[in-house]
């Protein structure tokens, strides 16, 4: 989070189903975790729900590759570019 420029007051979208360390890495820098839904078949962050959660305070999206299933990196890269996120 520090390297990505996330700081106090920022919001970071992350999966609603993940190990506590995911949210802890966000709160460590004083930012707020915003939990988005997962895709039930892969347990990975849902790009559609993620886009719904983006606000003016959103600084980054933290994806997690769950249980050996890779997240849809291309979809999140497109969201990051569209909304100028880390």
pLDDT of residue 19: 92
pLDDT of residue 86: 85
Taking CA atoms, 41 is separated from 6, 52, 85, in Å, by: 30, 20, 26
Question: Cα–Cα distance between 28 and 67 in angstroms, integer?
Answer: 24
> Whole-model pTM?
0.94
pLDDT of 28-71, one tens digit each?
999 999 999 999 999 999 999 999 999 999 999 999 999 999 99
Convert 23-57 to b/e letters by CB count within 10 Å (16 or more is b): bebbeebebebbbbebbeebbbbbbebbbebbeee
């Amino acid at each position: 989070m520090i390297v990505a420029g996330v700081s106090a007051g920022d919001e970071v979208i992350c999966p609603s189903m993940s190990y506590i360390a995911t949210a802890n890495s966000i709160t460590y820098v004083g930012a707020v975790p915003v939990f988005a839904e997962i895709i039930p078949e892969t347990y990975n962050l849902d790009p559609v729900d993620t886009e719904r959660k983006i606000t003016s305070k959103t600084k980054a999206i933290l994806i997690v590759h769950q249980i050996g299933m890779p997240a849809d990196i291309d979809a999140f890269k497109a969201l990051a570019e569209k909304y100028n996120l880390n």
